[in-house]
Amino acid sequence: MTRKAAILGAGVIGAGWAARFALMGWDVAVFDPSPTAKATVEAALDRARASLPALYDSPLPPEGRVTHAADLAGAVRDAAWIQESVPERLDLKHTLFQEVQAHCSPGAILASSTSGFTPTELQAGAQRPGQIIVAHPFNPVYLLPLVELVGSGETPRDLLAKAEQVLDSLGMAPLTIEAEVPAHIADRLLEAVWREALWLVKDGVATTGQIDDAIRLGFGLRWAQMGLFETYRIAGGDGGMAHFLRQFGPALKWPWTRLMDVPELDEALVQKIAAQSDTQSGAHSIAELEAMRDDNLVSILRVLKDRNAGAGAVLRGHEAGLALPAPDPDTPAMPVTLDRQVPVTWVDYNGHMNEARFLQAFSNACDQLLHWAGMTPEAIAAGHSVFTVETHIRHLDEVQIGDRIRVKARVIEGGGKKFHIWQELWVGDRLCATGEQMLLHVDLATRRSAVPPDRIANWLARAKAAHADLPWPEGVGRAVGQRA
């Protein structure tokens, strides 16, 4: 059964929440009386559709339905998760929560995106205080996994546990904070850097561009994978964190910072910062900057996923639950062995999928088929593997960035040492490429061909028999340049 999320407030954060829920299979009801709300949500959905599936090598659930409710009561009715993302005014949030609780289910999670207020502040005057929690995300919500999750003494532990499970299922990383403090954890750190940056601009020490370069070309890259404390642990060498603190700790008392002061944001400073920002980034529209940001985040997150580090570890764990179901080898239909979106990292200078990525797609799809047949990590550790002898790829149509590609496989020969696999890569109803592979089962101890274990041989033999009555594929056995 599809679950329903209600999004109250469709600004940048609310629209991002709507996109995250919808692309993870939830139906979403949005309530925001602003005349621009629908356009904001649709733009976020378009960006999310172009980027979030590109993080995964497995298909996401079918997209949920997004509707815009005429009133708040209709939005929250039957919702399992209600996410408030209205402006940071405590009186506004209190009024909203009172109306929400008059119409929502007592079992629903009522979460606030607030970046600063504590749960106790939010719960004041509420009909059911324990129902209200903080779930503070980061922009763009549909790509960045972190959510700061905070409850109060009124919050049942099982409600927080339920919230963690929901966020996990969305591919997010809930960070449950035990103590209530204004601005939680991440924004307190960000505000410290932000204050110092404002002084550097005001005092003429650095421009906005220089400060951004200092972050993105230096410590920002380290933080993306290791954070702050682990980075400094390495800086301590073999002595670790204790040595680092003893060596560099005294410098914290030196007058390196104006952290405790905040510059007066008078009109002169506002204009100075705005002018520098225009010089730095004014050549691009906000939409262009958002697209650049999302493409870069996808590339960084995919690398981190490959390394199982940082936010990439969250992605890898979530993707494990999205794997394609194993088919019955006796089913005559060609099984789908790969179902994914083409990420920006797969596109070449012609703006379409690079030829090397077709090989990667077919290789990954073949690995999936063989995994179903029994070529598991355990089997490989026991000395059984498969070597590719020959591959022939035909490029029949273009594949663009963001396209959803599906690979289907047919076993032409299997059951002995030799495996002959035919594959077709589809985008919708377009056959865009075919891949034909000849493989040999190999004994890793001798590095020579050998008869595979019975489980693998039997599975492939059954698949071959099931596929035998399918029409013979056009192009099997073709040589390069050979006409049909």
Annotated binding site, which residues? 9-14
Q: Compute the C-alpha angle 454/457/462, nearest 5°.
A: 120
Residue holding tokens 């910072």? 257
Spatial CA neighbour of 45 closest among 73, 69, 67: 67
Q: Give the residues across from 443 on adjacent strands.
A: 384, 448
- What are the CA-CA distances from residue 128 to residues 124, 133, 155 (Å)? 10, 11, 10
- Which amino acid, 363? S
**Continuous H helices in 249-354:** 267-281, 286-307, 311-320
Instruction: Return d(Cα 411, Cα 409) in angstroms, integer.
Output: 7
DSSP for 113-162, written as a single string: --SS--HHHHHTT-SSGGGEEEEE--SSTTT--EEEEE--TTS-HHHHHH
Structure-token pair, residue 218: 């230096």
Tokens 């060609």, residue located: 334
Binding residues for NAD(+): 9-14
Q: Residues in the chain, how many?
A: 484
Q: Do the beta carbons of residue 81 and residue 105 sit within 8 Å? A: no
β-strand partners of 90: none
Tell me the sheet residues that pair with 111. Answer: 83, 133
